[in-house]
A and B are shown apart, each in its own frame.
Chain A
Amino acid sequence: MTTVDLVALRDHLRPVGAALREHALAIDADPGALHTLLDSGVLPYRQLGGFPPGYLDDPLRVRGVPVHVRTCVERAVVAETLAWGDASVVVGAPGPSMSGIVVDDLADDEQRDRFYRRVAEPRTWTFFGLTEPDRGSDAAALETAVVELPGGPDDGSAPGHGSPRTVLRGHKKYVGNVARASLGVVFARHRPGPLGVGVYLVDTDRPGFDAAPLVLTGMRSIQLGEVRLRDVPLRPEDTLGRHLSPSRRGLLGAVRTFNRLRPVVASLAVGVTQAALDYVRAERSSFTADERWRLETFDDRLHAARALVLQAARAADDDPADGTLPAAAKAAALDLAEEVTHAVPPLLGPGARWEHPYLDKLVRDVPGLEMMEGTRTVQRLTLAQGWLQGRARHAELV
């Protein structure tokens, strides 16, 4: 159970969300405008990044209490509050991001220190390289490989001249921040079979690491990109979880990471939904009885979704191996976000998508949230399976 006062945390971050709103359209038009936001200093991205104690001199303080934003519950509250302004900046800001969670789960002390020390430097982005052009949801079949090259020239990555070199070879696509990241994790296969996928901590300045951004339809500050791994040198100390059993490292180990991330993505959707509802009420003061009824129904559903997401975050903190509630939270929050963001513009008139570009941005952002951490279809399958196995039946949403 978290000891952080979540209401105080929300209140503390509300002005940051409002500041993100002011920059949202500029960043949507040009992801490079994210730098203007970072220059402005209104986004304390390092304090919100989830660094372990010891890596930041000045952690966030809420009513005098330091908050490290390490638990899923804290991350969810931060994500929701900031997403009210711009969900894409929450994911597109520099910091440990998704890789931080996988590092927390799988890294040994030395790797953790290597990762966080580097990321603590200002303006340091990380990436999480799982998806491939032909392998998205089917992560277990990924093709990026760890390859042993016979006796190549010594580039410092292998113990001695002429000894085998271990390299990464493959192609990842739709990877957030990859073209501007300094380091991150790559999922790659070192042998066939379900336990044959490893996770590797890789610096992007290594030879053969070739990343480029893609043009997105929404969530533009994430700057999804693709990366070609052309025999990128790998060192033994890059293998995350080498101290763990085979079933705890690699993809199976990363399942815990995904379960912890899902409530955070769901929180982003809750923040976007709240933003859309607040926006229409700020722009229009009177509604017909039918419209009022619909908005109140959305409010109710939003409260319910928020409660579910928070409960899922608590569940992920308690037992990250169980993804049932996180799957439920993501499905519910995305259903609502999609419906509300499409329902709100017509309330502002027939040309609202052009006259209120912020609403158009929300509509375009939501499909990005749908894809992050698995689509709703896949979440429903996870939920059904967990429920049939007796999980998530006794969740208390009060």
Chain B
Amino acid sequence: MSTDVVAPAPAEAVEVSPEEGGAPVRADGPAGLRAVARELGPVAALTALAGLLPVAALPGEYVLLPDDVPPPGDWAQVGEVASDTGPLLVWRAPRAGAARQVAEAHDAAAPAVADAAPAAGEAATGAADAAPVAGETAATRAADAAWRIGVAWVRAGLCERLTDRAVERLRGRTLGGTATVNLPPVRLVLADAALAHLEAQALLGGAAARDAAPDGGASISGVSLARVTAVLDRSSRAVHNLFGASGFVDGEPARLARTIDLLGHAGGTLPGGTAGREGHDA
């Protein structure tokens, strides 16, 4: 079963107020979310995402939203994540059956789907190829996929933000008189992070699919999204470790790293054959 979906349509530019003064930052389509995330952090980036696309999730699945971005319909709040730029609320979409109304509400706003959207496999049941659950329409699946790809752009920018912060810190630390940032093993981590950021950007930009697709269309497959999630997971964990113990106390680096991690957990793969992303990219 194909898991290809069209990249979220570049909607009109979204303006987000920066954290402290300065000119508003524009996100020109999903790719622009990366810069917002890098410069302004998760709250601004997810606000911008919600301005570009309708908030979406499959029945029973999860999204993280700033507290002034309302989820659709009768979603349940299941938690809160303290990001480095403010709280994010964790919402669960109504489970199968209760979701039809929400899906219908999305039908008008969701971007078009190139191929049948991914199967809604519930990982916990072990059904790798489950049929779509009741209440799940093609439009819901397309909206969900578009949202996840937007989240992946946000994560890509947040990973760069984390790396920038780590570099700042390690420029100011020394080991045997050498700046820690200049230690070869630290540089290797930074190089790997840079490679991860480049790969994520290329995949999210549809580079892989453009070459593969006969019509040259910019679609992003479920496999590509899973790969993006895996490389960002791995690199953000390695970069997080660069903070040493300072990244283990409740402060900005720890909050940013946790946000990256949980955004990936909630929306890093498309259901259906992409579960268990870790280990496939080794």
Question: Contact check: which of B123, B254, B258, B261 meets A350 at CB < 8 Å?
Answer: B123
Whether B266 and A346, one on each chain, are in contact in the complex, defined by CB atoms closer than 8 angstroms, is no
Query: How many residues of A are counted as interface, with CB atoms below 8 angstroms from the partner's CB atoms?
Result: 50
Whether B176 and A354, one on each chain, are in contact in the complex, defined by CB atoms closer than 8 angstroms, is no
Residues 286 to 306 of chain A near chain B (Cβ within 8 Å): 286-288, 290-291, 294, 297
Whether A138 and B185, one on each chain, are in contact in the complex, defined by CB atoms closer than 8 angstroms, is no
Chain B residues with Cβ below 8 Å from A349 are 122-124
Tell me, yes or no, whether B275 is within 8 Å of chain A by CB: yes
Whether B249 and A342, one on each chain, are in contact in the complex, defined by CB atoms closer than 8 angstroms, is no
Whether B245 and A371, one on each chain, are in contact in the complex, defined by CB atoms closer than 8 angstroms, is yes
Assembly CA distance A297 to B62 (angstroms): 29
Chain B residues with Cβ below 8 Å from A351 are 60-62, 78, 92, 266
SS class of chain B's interface: helix, strand, loop or mixed?
mixed
Tell me, yes or no, whether B100 is within 8 Å of chain A by CB: no
Question: Contact check: which of A136, A217, A346, A364 meets B123 at CB < 8 Å?
Answer: A346
Tell me, yes or no, whether A215 is within 8 Å of chain B by CB: yes
Question: Contact check: which of A218, A290, A375 meets B244 at CB < 8 Å?
Answer: A375
Whether A354 and B62, one on each chain, are in contact in the complex, defined by CB atoms closer than 8 angstroms, is yes
Assembly CA distance A151 to B260 (angstroms): 56
Whether B123 and A174, one on each chain, are in contact in the complex, defined by CB atoms closer than 8 angstroms, is no
Chain A residues with Cβ below 8 Å from B128 are 288, 290
Residue ID in chain B nearest A139 by CB atoms: B175
Chain A residues with Cβ below 8 Å from B244 are 136-137, 371, 375
Tell me, yes or no, whether A363 is within 8 Å of chain B by CB: yes
Assembly CA distance A363 to B260 (angstroms): 13
Known: A291-B126, A346-B276, A375-B244. A138 touches B176 (CB 8 A): yes
Question: Contact check: which of B189, B237, B254 meets A217 at CB < 8 Å?
Answer: B254
Chain A residues with Cβ below 8 Å from B90 are 354
Assembly CA distance A211 to B82 (angstroms): 26
Known: A338-B237, A375-B244, A380-B185. A216 touches B276 (CB 8 A): no
Whether B279 and A217, one on each chain, are in contact in the complex, defined by CB atoms closer than 8 angstroms, is no
From residue B64, how far is it (CB to closest CB) to chain A in Å?
11
Residue ID in chain A nearest B82 by CB atoms: A217
Residue ID in chain A nearest B175 by CB atoms: A138
Chain A residues with Cβ below 8 Å from B233 are 342
Whether A343 and B247, one on each chain, are in contact in the complex, defined by CB atoms closer than 8 angstroms, is no
Assembly CA distance A354 to B250 (angstroms): 19
Residue ID in chain A nearest B122 by CB atoms: A349
Question: Contact check: which of B123, B185, B186 meets A348 at CB < 8 Å?
Answer: B123
Chain A residues with Cβ below 8 Å from B237 are 338, 342
Residues 175 to 207 of chain B near chain A (Cβ within 8 Å): 175-176, 180, 185-186, 189
Known: A141-B176, A224-B245, A224-B249. A353 touches B276 (CB 8 A): no
Assembly CA distance A30 to B250 (angstroms): 14
Q: Which 4 A-B pairs have the closest CB atoms?
A: A349-B124, A174-B245, A343-B278, A215-B250
Provide 30 A-B residue pairs closer than 8 Å at the C-beta atoms, listed in order of the A residue.
A134-B173, A141-B175, A174-B246, A216-B249, A217-B249, A217-B254, A224-B248, A288-B126, A291-B126, A291-B276, A338-B237, A339-B278, A342-B237, A346-B276, A346-B277, A346-B278, A347-B123, A347-B124, A350-B62, A350-B123, A351-B61, A351-B266, A352-B265, A353-B265, A367-B247, A368-B248, A370-B241, A371-B245, A375-B241, A377-B185
